[in-house]
C-alpha cells in the first residue's frame, strides 16, 4: 500500500510540474462547456427565428398570381415583387447565397389556373446551402397548401366531394415531452463530460508508462523492491485522480454554462444546482476508474511517447461510442443497460437533467460494472508489466 | 555476493547469454568486460531481476533471482545504462522517491538522502530540476539514488560512459569507498584502462559466453600477455574488435 501511495504522490507531483500537461488536461473540461453554449445558442436561435419570423422572398411575375401572394401573406411569407429584374438575376443571387429561396411564377399561371390546368411555379433554391433549407421547406409547404385549397375548390365547383381525392388521411399523434425532445442536447452533455474527464488522464497515463520507458527511468524503477502490481496501481490511481479532478472541473464549468443555455426556448428545466452537480459527479466518477485502466493498459503496450499518445487518443473515443449509439437509437434506462459503461452514465445523467430521481440500484449496477471493466484493464496492464517485453 | 551459473537467454534468433557463470564477492570490485553486444547489459538485467533467464540460476546474497525477485531487489542498488531521472523532479526529489520506494520511513529516508547527497558531493544539484542536468550530473544523481538505501550489492551498467575525467575519477572514488565497506560491486565496461585501475576480478564476456575470468594477474598469465588490453583481445579471439 505504501508503494502505491508513493508512486501516486510522485506521479501527481510530476504531472503538476508540467504546465503543458495541466493545460492540455484542463482544455477539454473548460472548452467543452464554452463550445456547448455557443453551439446550442446558435442552433436554437436559428430554429426559433426561422419558425416565427416573417420570411421575405422575391417573387417574379407576382401579378399573375395575386391569390397565391395573399395566401403566402397569411403564412407570414412576404412576397417582394420588384426584387429582381429577371429569372437569371434571381438564380445568380441564390447561387451566391445572398438569397435563400425565390419564386418564379409562369407567364401563363393565371390563365392555366382559370382553365383548370396545372399552373407552373418554380422554387429557386440551392440545395447545397444548408442554412436555406428551412426557408425552402416553408415556401414549399405554403405552395402545397395553396394547391390543395384550389383543388378542393375545383372539385366542389364540379359537385364532387373533395374527400374522394384524399383516400388516406394521415394524422400525427406526437407524445414526446419537451425534455424528451432534447435528447440530442443531453447526449452532447454527457459526451462532453465523459470526453473531458478521459482527456484529463491522458498525459499522466502516457507519461507514467511509455514516457517512463522512453526516458529510461522504467528500468531502474523495476529494480526496486516493489511488486509490478503496486507500480501499476500507483500509476492507475494517479490517472484516475486527474480524471476525477477534471471531471469535477468539467461539471462545475457546465453548471455555470447551463445558465447561458437557451433552455427556456427548448422548454427545459434549468435546475442544475449543487445537488445535481454532486449527483452527476457520483454517477460519472466510475468512468475515471474505467479510463485509468484503459489508458494505462493501452499505453503499456506502446513503445514510445508519441505512439502512446496516438493510441490513447483513439482509446478515449471508445467509451464515448455507446453514447453515439443511444443518440441514434434512443433507449429508456433498464437494469441490463446499466451494465454498459458510459451508456449507463448517459442514461442516468439524462434522468438527472430531466429532474428524475436516481434509482440507487441502477446507480450501483452502473458504478460497479464500469469500475470492474476499469480494473480488468488495470490487470491487463499488470500482466504487461510482468512481461519483460515491457522493456525490450 | 553474486553467483551466476549457466545463465542462458535468447531473444528470438539471438543468443544474448550462453551459459554465463561467474561470481562476484563481497568487498571486491568485479568488472564485466566485453565488446558492444557481448551480453553485458543482458547479464546485469537478469541479475537485477528485470528480465528472466531461459535457463541457469543466479543468486544475489543468497536469494534466487528467479524465485525471490523482491528479496533480491532489496539487496541491490542498480544503475542502468541511462540515468533515468525524472526531469520534472529535483535531484533531491528523485533520490527521495527511491528512498521511499525502498521502504525507508519518512525521517529515516530524509537522513539517508542527506547522507548520500553529502557523500557524493552533489549538494549543488539537489535542489535543481533534473531537466537541466548534464550527462555527468545525471549519472552522479542516479548513482546517489541507487545507493540511498545502502545496498549490499551494487550493479552498475557502464557507469563511466560519457563522463569527463573529473567525474569519472569521482565515481571511481565512490566505488572504492563501497569496496572498503565490504560491499559487492559489479560493473560493466568496455574501457580496458578503467577496468585495470579499479577491478579486483574480471569477467571477460564475448558473444554471450564467458571467455575468461579471474584476477587481472591471472588473466595476464593465462593469456601470456603483458598488457591487459592484449589479454582482452587474446581472450575474445581475433574476430571481435574491442571498441
| Structural domain spans, chain B | 2-236
| Residue to test with chain A: of B45, B97, B141, B151, most A Cβ within 10 A | B97
Query: Is A248 within the bounds of a domain?
Result: yes
Q: Supply the pLDDT for residue B156.
A: 94
Q: Supply the pLDDT for residue B243.
A: 45
Print the domain residue range for A351. Answer: 2-44+181-390
What's the Cα-to-Cα distance from A189 to each of A118, A125, A181, A274, rounded to whole Å? 50, 35, 14, 17
Largest CA distance in chain B: 56
CA A100 to mean position of chain CA atoms: 27
CATH number of the domain where residue A127 is located: 3.40.1710.10
Report yes or no: B142 at the A interface, CB cutoff 8 Å: yes
DSSP state of A120: P
CA separation for the pair A286, A368 (Å, rounded): 8
* Candidates B52, B98, B100; nearest CB to A388: B52
Pair A204, A260 in one domain? yes
Domains contained in chain A, number: 2
Single residue among A165, A200, A216 that ends a domain in this structure: A165
pLDDT-based confidence at residue A319 (cuts at 50, 70, 90): confident
Report yes or no: B131 at the A interface, CB cutoff 8 Å: no
- Set of chain A residues whose Cβ sits within 8 Å of the Cβ of B154: none
Query: Is A256 within the bounds of a domain?
Result: yes
pLDDT-based confidence at residue A2 (cuts at 50, 70, 90): confident
Q: pLDDT tens digits, chain B, 243 residues: what are they?
A: 999 999 999 988 888 999 999 999 999 999 999 888 888 999 999 999 999 999 999 999 999 999 999 999 999 999 988 889 999 999 999 999 999 999 999 999 999 999 999 988 899 999 999 999 998 899 999 999 999 999 999 999 988 888 888 888 888 999 999 999 999 999 998 888 888 889 999 999 998 999 999 998 898 888 888 888 888 888 877 654 444
Residue with cell 535457463: B55
* Candidates B48, B87, B100; nearest CB to A6: B100
| Residue to test with chain A: of B80, B85, B159, B186, most A Cβ within 10 A | B80
Residues 6+ apart with CB under 8 A from A63: A81
Pair A215, A302 in one domain? yes
Instruction: Say yes or no: domain B2-236 is CATH 3.90.230.10.
Output: no
Pair A247, A101 in one domain? no
CA separation for the pair A94, A135 (Å, rounded): 12
- Burial (0-12, 13-18, 19+ Cβ within 10 Å), A163: exposed
Report yes or no: B174 at the A interface, CB cutoff 8 Å: no
Query: Is A49 within the bounds of a domain?
Result: no
Mean pLDDT value of segment A112-136? 86
- In degrees and rounded to multiples of 5, residue A353 shows phi and psi of -65, -35
Distance from CA of A16 to the nearest CA of B (A): 9
CA separation for the pair B40, B35 (Å, rounded): 9
**pLDDT of A56-82, one tens digit each?**
889 988 888 888 888 888 888 888 888
Q: Which of residues 6-45 of B touch A (CB under 8 A)?
A: 11, 45
Residue with cell 496501481: A233
Determine whether the interchain pair B97/A10 forms a contact, defined as Cβ–Cβ distance below 8 Å: yes
Q: Is the pLDDT of residue A192 over 50?
A: yes
Residue with cell 383543388: A151
Pair A293, A358 in one domain? yes
Residues 6+ apart with CB under 8 A from A219: A391, B45, B50, B80, B81, B82, B84
Query: Is A160 within the bounds of a domain?
Result: yes
- Burial (0-12, 13-18, 19+ Cβ within 10 Å), A161: exposed
Query: Is A170 within the bounds of a domain?
Result: no
Residue with cell 467543452: A32
Nearest partner of A320 among A13, A28, A80, A100, judged by Cα: A28
Q: Which residues pair with B124 in a beta bridge?
A: none
- Burial (0-12, 13-18, 19+ Cβ within 10 Å), A209: buried
Determine whether the interchain pair A224/B98 forms a contact, defined as Cβ–Cβ distance below 8 Å: yes
Pair A63, A25 in one domain? no
Greater pLDDT, A36 or B34: B34
Mean pLDDT value of segment A228-242? 95
Determine whether the interchain pair A219/B101 forms a contact, defined as Cβ–Cβ distance below 8 Å: no
Mean pLDDT value of segment A235-264? 88
CA separation for the pair A240, A289 (Å, rounded): 6
CA A212 to mean position of chain CA atoms: 36
pLDDT-based confidence at residue A12 (cuts at 50, 70, 90): very high
Amino acid at each position: 500500500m505504501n508503494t502505491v501511495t508513493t508512486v501516486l504522490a510522485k506521479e501527481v507531483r510530476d504531472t503538476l510540474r508540467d504546465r503543458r500537461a495541466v493545460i492540455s488536461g484542463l482544455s477539454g473540461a473548460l472548452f467543452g462547456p464554452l463550445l456547448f453554449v455557443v453551439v446550442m445558442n446558435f442552433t436554437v436561435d436559428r430554429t426559433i427565428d426561422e419558425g416565427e419570423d416573417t420570411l421575405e422572398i422575391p417573387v417574379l411575375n407576382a401579378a399573375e398570381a395575386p391569390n397565391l401572394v395573399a395566401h403566402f401573406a397569411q403564412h407570414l411569407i412576404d412576397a417582394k415583387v420588384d426584387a429582381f429584374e429577371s429569372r437569371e438575376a434571381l438564380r445568380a443571387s441564390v447561387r451566391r447565397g445572398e438569397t435563400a429561396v425565390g419564386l418564379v411564377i409562369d407567364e401563363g399561371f393565371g390563365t392555366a389556373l382559370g382553365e383548370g390546368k396545372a399552373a407552373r411555379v418554380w422554387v429557386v433554391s440551392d440545395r447545397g446551402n444548408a442554412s436555406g433549407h428551412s426557408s425552402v421547406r416553408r415556401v414549399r409547404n405554403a405552395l402545397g397548401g395553396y394547391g390543395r385549397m384550389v383543388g378542393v375548390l375545383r372539385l366542389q365547383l364540379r359537385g364532387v366531394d373533395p374527400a374522394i381525392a384524399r383516400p388516406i388521411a394521415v394524422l400525427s399523434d406526437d407524445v414526446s415531452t419537451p425534455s424528451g425532445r432534447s435528447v440530442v442536447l443531453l447526449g452532447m452533455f454527457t459526451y462532453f463530460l465523459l470526453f473531458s474527464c478521459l482527456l484529463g488522464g491522458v498525459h499522466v497515463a502516457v507519461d507514467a508508462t511509455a514516457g517512463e520507458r522512453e526516458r529510461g527511468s522504467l528500468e531502474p524503477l523495476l529494480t526496486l523492491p516493489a511488486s509490478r502490481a503496486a507500480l501499476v496501481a500507483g500509476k492507475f490511481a494517479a490517472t484516475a485522480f486527474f480524471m476525477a479532478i477534471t471531471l469535477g472541473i468539467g461539471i462545475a464549468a457546465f453548471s455555470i454554462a447551463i445558465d447561458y443555455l437557451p433552455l427556456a426556448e427548448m422548454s427545459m428545466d434549468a435546475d442544475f444546482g449543487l445537488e445535481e452537480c454532486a449527483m452527476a459527479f457520483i454517477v460519472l466518477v466510475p468512468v475515471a476508474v474505467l479510463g485509468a485502466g484503459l489508458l494505462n493498459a493501452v499505453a503499456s503496450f506502446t513503445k514510445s511517447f508519441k505512439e502512446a499518445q496516438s493510441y490513447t487518443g483513439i482509446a478515449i473515443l471508445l467509451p464515448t461510442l455507446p453514447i453515439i449509439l443511444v443518440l441514434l437509437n434512443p433507449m429508456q434506462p433498464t437494469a441490463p443497460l446499466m451494465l454498459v459503461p458510459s451508456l449507463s452514465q448517459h442514461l442516468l445523467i439524462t434522468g438527472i437533467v430531466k429532474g428524475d430521481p436516481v434509482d440507487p440500484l441502477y446507480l450501483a449496477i452502473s458504478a460497479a460494472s464500469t469500475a470492474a471493466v476499469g480494473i480488468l484493464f488495470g490487470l491487463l496492464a499488470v500482466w504487461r508489466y510482468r512481461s519483460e517485453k515491457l522493456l525490450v | 555476493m553474486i553467483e551466476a551459473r549457466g545463465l542462458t537467454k535468447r531473444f528470438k534468433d539471438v543468443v544474448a547469454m550462453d551459459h554465463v557463470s561467474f561470481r562476484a564477492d563481497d568487498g571486491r570490485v568485479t568488472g564485466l568486460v566485453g565488446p558492444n553486444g557481448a551480453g553485458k547489459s543482458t547479464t546485469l538485467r537478469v541479475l537485477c531481476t528485470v528480465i528472466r533467464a531461459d535457463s541457469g540460476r543466479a543468486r544475489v546474497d543468497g536469494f534466487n533471482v528467479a524465485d525471490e525477485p523482491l528479496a533480491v531487489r532489496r539487496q541491490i542498488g542498480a544503475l542502468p545504462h541511462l540515468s533515468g531521472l525524472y526531469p520534472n523532479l529535483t535531484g533531491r526529489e528523485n533520490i527521495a522517491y527511491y528512498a521511499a520506494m525502498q521502504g525507508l520511513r519518512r525521517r529515516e529516508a530524509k537522513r539517508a538522502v542527506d547522507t548520500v547527497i553529502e557523500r557524493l558531493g552533489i549538494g549543488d544539484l539537489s535542489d535543481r530540476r533534473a531537466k537541466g542536468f548534464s550527462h555527468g550530473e545525471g549519472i552522479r544523481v542516479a548513482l546517489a539514488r541507487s545507493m540511498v538505501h545502502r545496498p549490499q550489492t551494487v550493479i552498475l551498467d557502464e557507469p563511466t560512459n560519457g563522463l569527463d575525467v573529473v567525474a569519472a575519477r569521482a565515481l571511481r572514488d565512490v566505488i572504492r569507498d563501497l569496496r572498503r565497506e565490504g560491499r559487492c560491486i559489479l560493473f560493466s565496461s568496455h574501457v580496458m584502462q578503467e577496468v585495470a585501475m579499479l577491478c579486483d576480478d574480471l569477467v571477460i564476456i564475448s558473444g554471450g559466453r564467458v571467455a575468461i575470468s579471474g584476477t587481472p594477474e591471472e588473466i595476464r598469465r593465462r593469456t601470456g600477455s603483458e598488457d591487459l588490453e592484449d589479454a582482452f583481445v587474446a581472450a575474445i579471439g581475433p574476430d571481435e574488435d574491442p571498441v
